Amino acid sequence: MKKPSIESQLFEALAFAAHKHRAQRRKDVEASPYINHPIALARTLAVEGGVTDTRTLIAAVLHDTVEDTDTTFEEIGAVFGAKVADIVREVTDDTTLDKADRKRLQIEHAPHLSKRAALVKLADKTSNLRDVASSLLSIVILGGTSALPDSAARAASTASMGSDLPWRRRAWRLWRSTSITSTPARARNRARPAP
Supply the residues annotated as catalytic.
Answer: 67-68
3-state SS class at 165: helix
Q: Which residues are CB-contacts of 34 (< 8 A; sequence separation ≥ 6)?
A: 21, 24, 25, 26, 64, 68, 191
Among 96, 68, 73, 75, smallest CA distance to 86 is for 73
Q: How many residues are present in the chain?
A: 195
Q: Residue 148 in contact with residue 139, Cβ under 8 Å?
A: yes
Three-state SS at 193: strand
